[in-house]
Amino acid sequence: MRTVVTGGAGFLGSHLCDRLLAENWEVLALDNLITGVDSNIAHLMKHPKFRIARADVSNYIDVAGPIDYVLHFASPASPVDYLKLPIPTMKVGALGTHNALGLTLAKKAKFLLASTSESYGDPEISPQHEEYWGHVNPVGPRGVYDEAKRYAEAMTMAYHRFHGADTRIVRIFNTYGPRMRLNDGRALPNFVHQALTGQPLTVYGDGKQTRSFCYVSDLIDGICRLMQSDEHLPVNLGNPQEITILEFAEHVRKHFENAPAIVFEPLPQDDPKRRCPDISKAKRILKWEPKVGLEEGLGLTLAYFKQEFAKGKVAAR
């Protein structure tokens, strides 16, 4: 099997490359490295079945030879990144998805879109199920990411219905693990960066907004199961264990000898108040649910960050 992974040098993309190579796939990663980093895939560079090409998939994609699967993971994914890169974020969701689907058709391949829980916006129901259409501010600062992903979902379904493309859509809820970029605007890397550099942990609002955190190995397993399924409509993947951001900050503090203080800042515009997946569909059709508990996953992730920080690698990012 041969697959193209767009965004293959990113956090999730690199872990997906690892999993596919472990299952004896041939992998071509495409990445323009505006948010991905070479170090995420450095350990794969000598693998005989791995290759990476510097490419912006918002432009035309040309890949020689047969392809069995196109996995579209290219996109800025953190608030810091997509607020700094609003136009590239919109382009990769629109043009990048169009180009990836065009490659899929040309190669008679299968396609999987990495969508997001942000498709639900600031939801009016919780937990969020796949039939919920969402509550999104299209002209707010987060709209560049939310609407890019919603458009990408619509484009994917259009290719499926009009061209008969064999497509899948995963809506990814908050995922964490090694290779996240410190201080990227998401809760865990921000907390860890602040703790490692001797700063207090910043909690926005009163900290009662909720998230649910899925360890990366669980998410990748769910994605691989979805790849092998016949489901074409979106499927939620995430951990349904809901926790407040303030409680999460306290969990992180416990992993540091000199536990940092917590400070409060105003809540950013359109920041979701609740985020929790209904994974009934994934349980039913994929026989999937997360296995790694929060304390186990945090231990693995913080050990990675502390090691990288000690080497000076994290600061270089």
Q: What are phi and psi of 264, to 5 degrees?
A: -115, 135
How many CB atoms are closer than 10 A to CB 182? 19
Tell me the C-alpha distance between 194 and 184, whole Å.
Answer: 12
The pLDDT value recorded for residue 126 is 94
Comparing CA positions, the residue from 276, 277, 266, 269 lying closest to residue 142 is 269
Residue ranges of the chain with pLDDT lower than 50?
315-317
Residues 6+ apart with CB under 8 A from 209: 244, 245, 267, 271, 272, 273, 274, 275
- Reply yes or no on whether 120 is catalytic: no
pTM of the shown model: 0.94
| Per-residue model confidence (pLDDT) at position 269 | 84
Which domains, from first to last, does the chain contain?
Answer: 2-316 (3.40.50.720)
pLDDT at res. 183: 73
- Encoding tokens for residue 241? 């264990």
What pLDDT is stored for residue 309 in this prediction? 87
Q: Which of 69, 82, 145, 215 is catalytic?
A: 145
Distance CA 72, CA 4 (A): 8
Question: What's the pLDDT score for residue 262?
Answer: 94
Structure tokens at 150: 């919603």
Per the CB < 8 A criterion, the answer to whether 47 and 17 are in contact is: no
